[in-house]
Amino acid sequence: EISPGFILCDVEQEPCGVGRIFDAQIAIIEYKSIICPGYSAVLHIHAAAVEVQLIKLIVLIDRKTGERTLKYPRFIKQDQVAIARFELSQSGQAICMEPFKRFPQLGRFTLRDEGRTVAVGKVLKIIE
């Protein structure tokens, strides 16, 4: 059975990356409260839409300079940029994705919650 978000690959060529835990750089666009580990949202990446959970915040990034400012922040809020680790909520589920540098179309995503786009981001590294 084929569902939206599935990708067909040539097995002779290098197949598309698959993951369920990944590190990503995210920019919070619109969210009234703070976002901390345990937060769940719907990840929209290429044609797929799956629920993810924020496992941990790795580093806060200064939006203007691009410098890493705070390691392991406890939370992030609107207009902040951070590197974070996410995990797909359903155990055993994996989706096709690639690091943004390698394949931008499969590495760009949005996070949505309650019908609103909360954040945009790019996959930096597939962990598992």
Strand-pair category, 40-45 with 81-88 = unpaired
Give backbone dihedrals phi and psi of 78, rounded to 5 degrees, phi first: -50, 140
Question: What's this model's pTM, rounded to 2 decimal places?
Answer: 0.88
Predicted confidence band of residue 76 (pLDDT cuts 50, 70, 90): very high
Cβ distance 113 to 41 under 8 Å? yes
Q: d(Cα 65, Cα 6) in Å, to the nearest integer?
A: 37
Half-sphere exposure of 77 (CA within 13 A, CB side): 3
| Mean pLDDT, residues 16-44 taken together | 93
Predicted confidence band of residue 52 (pLDDT cuts 50, 70, 90): very high
What is the per-residue pLDDT for 3? 75
What is the per-residue pLDDT for 10? 79
| Mean pLDDT, residues 71-78 taken together | 94
Check whether 87 has a pLDDT greater than 80: yes
Residue that wins the pLDDT comparison between 58 and 94: 58
Nearest CA-CA partner of 76 in 68, 86, 84: 84
Q: Pull the structure tokens for residue 40.
A: 């769940």
What is the per-residue pLDDT for 12? 81
Chain Cα centroid distance, residue 6: 17
Cβ distance 70 to 59 under 8 Å? yes
What is the per-residue pLDDT for 67? 92
Domains along the chain with CATH numbers: 18-126 (2.40.30.10)
Whole-angstrom CA distances from 81 to 67, 111, 122 are 10, 14, 11
Predicted confidence band of residue 38 (pLDDT cuts 50, 70, 90): very high
| Residue located via tokens 């300079």 | 65
Check whether 4 has a pLDDT greater than 90: no
